[in-house]
Structure 1
Amino acid sequence: MKSSKLEIALVQTSLVWENPKENRQIIAEKIKEIKPSTDIIILPEMFTTGFTMSPKKIDFNAALETLKWMKTISKEKNAALVGSIVYKEETKNYNRLYFVEPSGKVSFYNKRHTFTLAGEDKVYTAGKEKLIVEYKGFKICPLICYDLRFPVWSRNTTNYDVLIYVANWPKKRILAWDSLLRARAIENMAYCIGVNRVGIDALAYEYPGHSSAYDSLGTLLSFSDKEEVIYATITKEHINTTRNKLKFLEDKDLFNLL
């Protein structure tokens, strides 16, 4: 069913290192308190483990259990659930984002830009395809963390309405996170929503949150730097009005990724 607006919950949470079961329990308690009017619930990158570079430590069945859990939560809350996890497929590991709908429909996206600075490219296979999800009349493009630094990959060639980034983005580079989220919104004339974690991981990296939502003009709609759930409301009217008045997307350069 199409809608003229979406209510989105950004779950900014700390994560227990490499412990899918405990993270699911903690996050489930937070989700219980989310407004019943919520349409989409967004979790951080690798929300069951933290940003681990040791996928071998994560039991293969953990991903299957998490996907089952996501389906249950989505149905109970009547809201789509979005977040990435460690996923194993035969001999390959992926940083895989799932977009799970209340109907049981599941879409996924494998992180395209693996974070070489942390050696993610050595242990996770990079994805090759972008995902566009059509949900309640909105076209949504979900991406993961390091993808934020590469504007060509997120380029709005399909007239999507919303960009979503899930992340484990550290404090030392948080200025880039803040700046690039706003830039992605402006250049793509789309809502841009970023959900980051908080807390300190097992490798002593600190995460300050800064989960936020921007409209298509780069106006900040929501922001937090503490452990909590925040909300953003997005509307079709804003997208349509802005794009009809400011036809910047029609002037974009035409080229293809090789």
Structure 2
Amino acid sequence: MMKTVVIGDIHGGFRALKQLLEGVNLPKGTQYIFVGDYVDGWSESAEVVSYLIDFSKKNDCIFIRGNHDELLYKYLKFGERNPMWLSQGGESSVESYSKISEEEKEKHLQFFENLVNFHEDSENRLFVHAGFTNQHGPQSEYYPNMVYWDRTLWEMVCAMDSSISEEDDKYPKRLKLFNEIYIGHTPVTRVGFDKPANFANVWNVDTGAAFKGKISMLDVDSKEIWQSEPVYKLYPEEKGRN
């Protein structure tokens, strides 16, 4: 049976990403699903993307679009310098991308353009960067970019009464659409976790790599977890998004 793993937010932490992926001996044929935010934060955003492009040539990978990936893409493609983005890790990406060639930049633009907004697998599991609000699923969102900005899905399951069953009229309809939902976007460290956290049928694999946390990888079947060192320890000369 093919192994599927999901990898949380990276935020330019190339050293931690490499440590994580190369420190685990997963079987050939493993599927790697990355939930987005490859860039913005630590100083090696361009290195992260180059590494993932090469990694995908030898491995089965699905790359999901995060909000930071879209913001960087708009800067690289159209020169958009969103002030809020720059203050939330974008400046580090601008600096990182000033060091690569135009040829490499074109490869990275293609990478960003090929990202998917979400992925549904044959086991009715959803992989998405942030969440969705539409009761018919992410494909029905009026604003497609909601899926990499929404925080209400995670906030909802964190606050849910765990005693409510799916048969209850109050049970959230959007949770019934999928067997499991895997997200990133909102660090679980904000609610006291340092490993991927689960509420209802939602798993959040963002373990705060942009701040004081680690990059995490989760086996979606066994729920085995692998983690890098705290990313900030691998960049002692930097502040990241702190």
Q: What TM bracket, shorter-length normalisation?
A: 0.3 to 0.5
> Normalization by structure 2: what TM-score?
0.44
User: Relative CO higher for 1 or 2, CA cutoff 8 Å, sep ≥ 6?
Assistant: 2
> Normalization by structure 1: what TM-score?
0.42
